[in-house]
Each structure stands twice: as C-alpha cells, then as structure tokens.
C-alpha cells in the first residue's frame, strides 16, 4: 500500500502547492451560503395531511409532480418501524397490543416519547455516529492488535441518551481536552480522533504513520462535519471545490500538535476473581508455549556473540546471565521475546499478563488526544509527500467558508482595531495562535453553512434510505443538488434554533405524515417516480448488520439488557482469526455477554465478525457516512447456519413452547408475532402449519417436540420481513 501511495504521489507532478483562487463557478454554490429559513408552502387542499412543516414541503413538490401521498401505514407496521428506527429493537407483543388498541389521538406521539426516553435509543443512534467515527476495537494495519477504546463508544451512547446539544457534541470530540477544567468525560470524547489506525509492524517510519493519522483525522473531519472531500487537496489544489493545498495544510496544522496518550482511571466494576483466573490461565498458556520452544530458544541463545548480547536490553542481558533452568518465569518470557522471532500472539498474551501482574489491568483505559506544550511546525507537503517540506503554514481555515475567531483572550499588545480586524479575517494572521479548540468552535458555529445541513441530511437518510442530498459525503460542486432544497434549509435552521437537539429532530421527522406513510409498492409510481425521490411512499430498508442480530436476540428472548462496557465475543465460525497476518484467539463468551447487542461485538478491522461483515457493517478503516445494503445468498445461509443464529432459533423454539402452550395455531401465531410484530395472514399461517406437519411426519415427532419447532423458528428468523424495516 505504501509503495502504491508513493507511485501515486510521484505522478501528481504538475500539482501546484500554492494557494489558488477558487475554481470557476463555485462562488455562488448553494452549500457555501448559510441556510435561511424559507416560508412554508401553502397547501389548503392537503391541510388534513400536514402534521408538521416537513409535510408541507414534501406535499408541495408532490403536487408539482402530479403525485399523491400514500396512506398511513397500519398500526402494526408503524410501531415496529418507529421502534426499530428509534431504539434498534422491535416492540414486544404487549407493546404492540397496547398501541394498536390505544384510541387516544396522541397515542403515536406518546409512543415516540417513550422510545426517545428509552436507554436503547442511545445505543441505536450511537451506532449511527460510530460509523462516521470509524470505531473499532483493534489497531488496524496487518498486525491489527486489540485496543481498549470502548469508553469512547459508551460516551457516545450516553451523549445520545442525554441529548447533548450537537454543537457541544462536536466540540467535545474535537477538543474536549482543551476545554476549561476539562472533565474525564470530555477527555474521553476526544477518542473520536483516536479511532485512527496504529501501525505496529517492525521497521516502520514512525513519523510517516503519525502523519497518516493526521491525514485521516482531517479527511474524517471533512466527511463527518462539513460533507466535503477535503482530502482531495492533500497533493494539489482541489480541482472542483474552493480548497487550496496551502489551506489544506493550514487545516492540517490544527491536528499536528497533539500527543496520543492513554487516559487511565479506576474501574469500580472490576471482577477481581475473573482477573485472577485470567492471570492463572495466561500463565499456564505461556509456560506451555515456552516449554515447547525451549530447544529452539537454547539454540538461538548458544549462537549469540558477545556483541549481540551487548546490544540486548538490560532485562535481557540480566536474564541471559542466569542458567536457563534456573530462570524465573518472567526472565524466560523476556528471553523468548528477544530471541523467539516475531511471535505476535505470544507478545499480546505477555503484555496482557504483565498488565495483570503489575496492576494496570485493574484500571480501565482509553485512547485520548492531548495538546502538546510545544507545537510542531507545519509545512505544505510537496505533492503530498511528508518528506518534502514546502512553505511553513500556521493554523487557518479555507477563505471560502465562514470566518474563524480566536476564542481565547487576545494579547494586550493588540489595539482594538487590530483585534477587530483579526476577528473578521477568514485566514487570520500567522501569529494568531489558533488552536484545535478554536477550530472545534469554528466547526460548531451557527455561521457554518455546512454542519447543520450535513447532519440533518444524514439523519434524514437514516429514516428514508437516502438523503435530501443523496451524495451525503459531498456537498461540494461535484455532489448532487438537494431534491428539496427549501426543506433542507428549513430543517437546518430549525435544528440550530432548537438548541442543536437531535431528539427534537427525531421527534419532528418521525412525527410527520411523510414518515408515517405506507411503504407498499405503487404501480403508478413506476413511471412517474421510480426512485421515489418525491417520497410519495415510505421506503423499505433492510436492517443494519447489528440490528439483524438484535431482532433475532429479542425474538428469542435471549437478549442481555446490559448497556456499555468492554466489547464481547459471541460465537463465530472457526478459522476466522487465522485470516489475518497474526493468528489470534477468539474465545466465545459463555456468560450473558454471549447475548449482547450487535454493537458490542468486538470488532477487528482485519478480521471482522462474519455475521456483521456479510450484512455490510463498515470496515472502520475510514469514515462511513452511508452503509451499503446488499442482498446475497450468504446472508440467508448465515441466518440459517451461523452458530449464534442457530442458538437464537433454539431460544425462539423454547420460548414458543414455554409461553404459548396450546394448539399449533396459537404457537405459530405467537412465534410469528415475536419475529414480525404482527399477526400472520391466513395463507401465511397455512404455510407454517404445512411445514410443521411435514416436519412431524418426516421426523416422527409429537406436537410438543422442540425439533419441529426449531425448524419453524429458523424459517421465521430468515424471512425477508424479519430483517427489514417496512
């Protein structure tokens, strides 16, 4: 990959490294102008269909296109839809019945409030944000060692649950460590930009991969908060948007002055007995490993010259002075690490055992950002090559966007006129001393023409399958224009004026009649609006990978309710962990952790859990602003044969036999409702009964035998509707 990058950089020979005027035609580009709240369309003939302003904008466009909206979805569909969208979990049978039979005019609004107040809401929408944060539990690159950064994931969950204003949400992630009297929580938030990969290969250039991390942080910032392809200006002036290469490196400078420490704190929930058991197990494993390698290590040791011994570290030299059969366990480990070759599996276990032995394992830690006391110099990298420094630059922002204003106290040597001039200068003078906190506040400023639009568009995308701007990661001149520009601006202004509240935005969207429409196919739209760009109906959406697991867990009755904590290890196929460069152990949890929600599954970048990967979970190498939705036979095979899903089917069969004693019809209806949140139609019930009878006949089972009900459970968990949000 590094060689390919070098060749690409070498080919960009004609690229200018100097600041340039914006490309022709971008000066009036809609996305670089601040949103202004438009007047609401007047729709007297559709007044009964307008629940809130969203509907007025959507219906006005439908009227222009000669379209009519679809009717509202039935109550069974509606409660399952909004429950999945707001919490990521389907409703219980009791919750469905209560809503279907609730005749109060505000029944739906009350349902929405209950779902927004659920702690499950934070989990659902944290996963949405973790996609763009490229969250994973490993370091990436070829070694892909595990890391501990789950405290950041939990911070996002709690931020969503308490509806942390989004502007503050942005500031704390970009510069929480620099806030006055920063709390531990605000420091943990800076894990957003510690989700970069870490290369642990031997012989690498550390500075190269530090720079790669800064490049990733800048690209992610552009995607997450600005919806711009900022990375295009790394090697030359952006060809389409008003970002010069020198401006790219002024942005780069904001992220060039950080150290990357671990934040450690006491763990009040630590299971000391489990830690002692882990220590004993690791000790046994490493002793067996050392015994197996003893002859090889003795041969290596005998071949060491005096000079080679002298080049070893002090602990190794001290251990080598001791006769091999008289060395302590620690000394044997030290010698093996020095002479045993690049044994990454041993090294990982040794590091963990050392943590347990020296007490650091009794702490919890996470990766955070910390500003350096002595800032680094930043230069333009000629053709993007970090070894070729061009002009020196100081922190600043693109002139085409809103001004940046230093938020710290100015020096007393400046006159009032100088201070005022600097505050209005988009580029800011080189001695301005701008830092990452200034930049975070610049991103989160109401003057930013992009942030609110980008975020409301990405939230809209979650509810309708595509954004008002379909190129959700590119609001520049090469992106598609918004399908409903007035609605986009109205939502952006509303979002900011409502205190940047995501929950208010959710409440607004799911409360609209546009959202509540049926998703049933309409023949009349096949020619008039085949892509449903005018939203004359709702869109059916296959569930995200983690939710596919969650729905099956909820139906089976096995779901563990715990929120947060270290990532877990549900079952996965044998051999997965041997697919990377380093073979790692994956020991499936035998406790209730086996049945945690999908978002808590330990995610290795190089060897992701197959049940997540097959349903299009992002790879976490870079920011993902929109998940793909594929449809492959492997997905159906996973739902049928994966060990975890087979367990879910067993759990569902047990649950049906336990909760619905009675006739076949009663049990089939119960199983169907657990999976689909609605009663089966007569033909569906007939098909299931036929399958049940066939199983009994072939297997010779009686009506209460679990085997035939296991088949029913496997079929129901594999239905398209089970893994689809209607």
pLDDT tens digit string along 287-310?
999 999 999 999 999 999 999 999
Same domain, 274 and 348: yes
Q: Point out the domain boundary residue: 503, 521, 541.
A: 541
Q: Would you state the pLDDT for residue 703?
A: 55
Residue 363's H or E segment, with its range, is strand 363-367
Contact 626, 605 (CB under 8 A): no
> Is the per-residue pLDDT at 152 higher than 90?
yes
Residue 553's H or E segment, with its range, is helix 545-556
Contact 620, 135 (CB under 8 A): yes
Q: Which comes out higher in pLDDT, residue 595 or 705?
A: 595
How many C-beta atoms surround the C-beta of residue 663 within 10 A? 10
Same domain, 380 and 256: yes
State the helix-helix crossing angle for 75-87 and 119-132, rounded to 10 degrees. 60
The residues pairing with 262 across neighbouring beta strands, listed in sequence order, are 367
> Is the per-residue pLDDT at 499 higher than 60?
yes
Same domain, 238 and 380: yes
Same domain, 282 and 344: yes
CA distance linking residue 77 with residue 723, whole number of Å: 13
Same domain, 287 and 217: no
Burial class (CB in 10 A: 0-12, 13-18, 19+), 674: buried
Same domain, 389 and 459: no
CA distance linking residue 85 with residue 549, whole number of Å: 15
Closest C-alpha among 141, 5, 1, 125 to residue 621: 141
> Is the per-residue pLDDT at 448 higher than 80?
yes
Residue 682's H or E segment, with its range, is helix 682-699
| Per-residue CA distances from 699 to 646, 656, 666, 702, 706 (Å) | 19, 19, 22, 9, 11
pLDDT tens digit string along 389-443?
999 999 999 999 999 988 764 434 445 444 444 444 444 444 458 999 999 999 9
User: Please, which residues have CB within 8 angstroms of residue 391's CB and are 6 or more apart in sequence?
Assistant: 17, 18, 246, 379, 380
Residue showing tokens 């009794």: 362
Contact 131, 192 (CB under 8 A): no
Q: Point out the domain boundary residue: 516, 541, 566.
A: 541
Q: Would you state the pLDDT for residue 27?
A: 61
Same domain, 290 and 349: yes
Q: Would you state the pLDDT for residue 271?
A: 77
Residue 252 lies in a domain: yes
Q: Would you state the pLDDT for residue 655?
A: 97
How many C-beta atoms surround the C-beta of residue 208 within 10 A? 13
Closest C-alpha among 126, 123, 145 to residue 135: 126
Q: What does the angle CA 366 – CA 370 – CA 371 come to, to the nearest 5 degrees?
A: 170
Burial class (CB in 10 A: 0-12, 13-18, 19+), 642: buried
The DSSP code for 517 is: B
> Is the per-residue pLDDT at 493 higher than 70?
yes
Same domain, 458 and 434: no
- Mean pLDDT over 437-461 rounds to 98
Closest C-alpha among 548, 683, 533 to residue 615: 548
> Is the per-residue pLDDT at 132 higher than 80?
yes
Q: Would you state the pLDDT for residue 491?
A: 98
Expressed as residue numbers, the domain containing 516 is 32-40+43-123+452-541
Burial class (CB in 10 A: 0-12, 13-18, 19+), 405: middle
The secondary structure of 425-485, three-state, reads CCCCCCCCCCCHHHHHHHHCCCCCCCHHHHHHHHHHHHHHCCCCCCCCCCCCCCCCCCCCH
Half-sphere exposure of 270 (CA within 13 A, CB side): 17
How many C-beta atoms surround the C-beta of residue 702 within 10 A? 8
> Is the per-residue pLDDT at 202 higher than 90?
no
pLDDT tens digit string along 660-692?
988 999 999 999 999 999 999 999 999 999 999
In whole numbers, what is the pLDDT of the chain averaged over residues? Answer: 91
Same domain, 257 and 283: no
Same domain, 249 and 377: yes
Q: What share of the chain is helix, strand, coil (3-state, %, to 5)?
A: 50, 5, 45
Poorest-pLDDT segment among 226-230, 232-236, 260-264, 581-585: 581-585
Contact 161, 353 (CB under 8 A): no
Residue 24 binned pLDDT confidence (cut-offs 50, 70, 90) = very low
Residue 344 lies in a domain: yes
> Is the per-residue pLDDT at 69 higher than 70?
yes
Contact 82, 510 (CB under 8 A): yes
Residue 142 lies in a domain: no
> Is the per-residue pLDDT at 624 higher than 50?
yes
Residue 50's SS3 state is coil
Q: How far apart are the first and last CA of the chain?
A: 42
How many C-beta atoms surround the C-beta of residue 306 within 10 A? 7
Same domain, 495 and 421: no
- Mean pLDDT over 576-580 rounds to 93
Q: What does the longest C-alpha to C-alpha distance in the chain come to?
A: 94
Q: What percent of the chain has pLDDT over 90?
A: 82
Contact 422, 414 (CB under 8 A): yes
Closest C-alpha among 544, 705, 565 to residue 88: 544
The DSSP code for 328 is: -
Contact 113, 600 (CB under 8 A): no
Q: Would you state the pLDDT for residue 420?
A: 45
Helices (H), 142-271: 150-161, 166-175, 184-189, 206-221, 245-254
Q: Point out the domain boundary residue: 341, 364, 387.
A: 364
Residue 330 lies in a domain: yes
The answer for 25, left when phi > 0, alpha when psi is -120 to 50, beta otherwise, is left
CA distance linking residue 597 with residue 601, whole number of Å: 7
Residue 147 lies in a domain: no
Residue 272 binned pLDDT confidence (cut-offs 50, 70, 90) = confident
CA distance linking residue 457 with residue 468, whole number of Å: 6
The residues pairing with 389 across neighbouring beta strands, listed in sequence order, are 381
Residue 148 lies in a domain: no
Same domain, 254 and 389: yes
CA distance linking residue 194 with residue 209, whole number of Å: 13
Residue 76's SS3 state is helix
Q: Which two tokens stand for residue 46?
A: 């559709």
What total of structural domains would you count in the chain? 4
Residue 268 binned pLDDT confidence (cut-offs 50, 70, 90) = low
Q: Would you state the pLDDT for residue 274?
A: 82
Residue 378's H or E segment, with its range, is strand 378-381
Q: Would you state the pLDDT for residue 11?
A: 41
Residue 381's H or E segment, with its range, is strand 378-381
The DSSP code for 74 is: P
Q: Would you state the pLDDT for residue 409?
A: 43
Q: Which two tokens stand for residue 479?
A: 């992106």
Q: For CA atoms 496, 497, 503, 508, give the dihedral sign.
A: negative
Residue 645 binned pLDDT confidence (cut-offs 50, 70, 90) = very high
pLDDT tens digit string along 594-622?
999 999 999 999 999 999 999 999 999 99
Residue 578 lies in a domain: no
- Mean pLDDT over 636-655 rounds to 97
């Amino acid at each position: 990959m590094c060689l390919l990058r070098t060749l690409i950089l070498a080919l960009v020979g004609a690229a200018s490294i100097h600041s340039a005027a914006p490309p022709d035609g971008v000066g009036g580009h809609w996305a670089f102008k601040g949103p202004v709240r438009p007047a609401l369309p007047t729709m007297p003939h559709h007044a009964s269909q307008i629940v809130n302003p969203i509907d007025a904008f959507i219906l006005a466009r439908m009227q222009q296109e000669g379209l009519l909206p679809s009717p509202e979805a039935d109550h069974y569909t509606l409660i399952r839809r909004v429950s999945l969208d707001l919490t990521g979990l389907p409703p219980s049978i009791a919750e469905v019945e209560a809503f279907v039979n609730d005749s109060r005019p505000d029944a739906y609004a009350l349902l929405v409030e209950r779902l927004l107040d659920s702690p499950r809401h934070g989990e659902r929408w944290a996963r949405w944000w973790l996609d763009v944060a490229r969250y994973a539990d490993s370091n990436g690159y070829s070694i892909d060692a595990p890391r501990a950064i789950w405290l950041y994931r939990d911070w996002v969950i709690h931020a969503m649950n308490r509806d942390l204003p989004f502007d503050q949400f942005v500031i704390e992630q970009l510069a929480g460590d620099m806030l006055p009297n920063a709390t531990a929580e605000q420091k943990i938030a800076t894990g957003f930009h510690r989700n970069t990969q870490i290369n642990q290969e031997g012989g690498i250039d550390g500075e190269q991969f530090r720079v790669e991390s800064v490049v990733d942080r800048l690209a992610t910032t552009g995607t997450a908060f600005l919806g711009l392809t900022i990375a295009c200006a790394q090697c030359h002036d952006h060809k389409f948007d008003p970002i010069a290469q020198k401006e790219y490196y002024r942005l780069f400078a904001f992220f060039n002055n950080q150290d990357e420490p671990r934040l450690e704190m006491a763990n009040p929930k630590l299971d000391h007995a489990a830690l002692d058991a882990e220590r004993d197990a690791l000790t046994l494993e490493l002793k067996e490993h050392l015994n197996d390698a003893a002859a090889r290590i003795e041969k290596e040791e005998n071949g060491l010259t005096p000079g080679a011994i002298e080049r070893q570290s002090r602990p190794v030299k001290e251990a080598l002075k001791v006769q091999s059969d008289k060395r302590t366990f620690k000394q044997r480990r030290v010698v093996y690490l020095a002479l045993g070759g690049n044994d990454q599996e041993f090294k990982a276990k040794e590091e963990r055992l050392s943590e347990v032995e020296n007490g650091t394992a009794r702490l919890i830690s996470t990766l955070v950002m910390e500003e350096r006391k002595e800032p680094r110099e930043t230069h333009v990298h000629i053709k993007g090559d970090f070894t070729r420094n061009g002009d020196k630059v100081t922190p600043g922002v693109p002139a085409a966007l809103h001004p940046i204003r230093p938020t710290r106290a100015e020096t007393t040597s400046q006159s009032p006129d100088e201070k005022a001039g600097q505050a209005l200068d988009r580029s800011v003078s080189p001695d301005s001393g701008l830092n990452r906190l200034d930049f975070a506040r610049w991103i989160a400023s109401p003057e930013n023409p992009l942030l609110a639009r980008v975020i409301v568009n990405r939230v809209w995308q979650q509810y309708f399958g595509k954004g008002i701007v379909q190129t959700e990661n590119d609001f520049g001149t090469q992106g598609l224009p918004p399908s409903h520009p007035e609605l986009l601006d109205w939502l952006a202004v509303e979002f900011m004026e409502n205190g940047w509240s995501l929950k208010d935005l959710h409440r607004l969207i799911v409360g609209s009649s546009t959202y509540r429409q049926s998703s049933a196919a309409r023949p009349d739209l096949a020619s008039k609006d085949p892509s449903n760009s005018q939203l004359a109906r709702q869109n059916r959406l296959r569930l995200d990978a983690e939710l596919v697991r969650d729905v099956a867990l909820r139906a089976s009755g096995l779901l563990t309710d715990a929120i947060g904590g270290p990532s877990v290890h549900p079952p996965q196929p044998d051999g997965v962990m041997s697919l990377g460069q380093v073979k790692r152990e994956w020991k499936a949890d035998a406790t209730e952790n086996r049945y945690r929600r999908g978002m808590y599954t330990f995610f290795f970048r190089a060897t992701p859990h197959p049940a997540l990967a097959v349903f299009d979970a992002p790879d976490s190498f870079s920011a993902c602003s929109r998940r793909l939705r594929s449809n492959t036979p492997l997905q159906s095979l996973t739902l049928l044969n994966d060990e975890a899903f087979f367990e879910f089917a067993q759990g569902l069969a047990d649950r049906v036999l336990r909760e619905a004693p009675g006739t076949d019809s009663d049990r089939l209806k119960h199983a169907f409702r657990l999976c689909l949140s609605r009663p089966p139609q007569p033909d569906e019930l007939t098909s299931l009964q036929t399958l049940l009878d066939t199983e009994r006949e072939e297997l010779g089972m009686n009506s209460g035998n679990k085997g035939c009900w296991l088949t029913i459970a496997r079929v129901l968990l594999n239905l398209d509707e089970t893994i689809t949000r209607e």
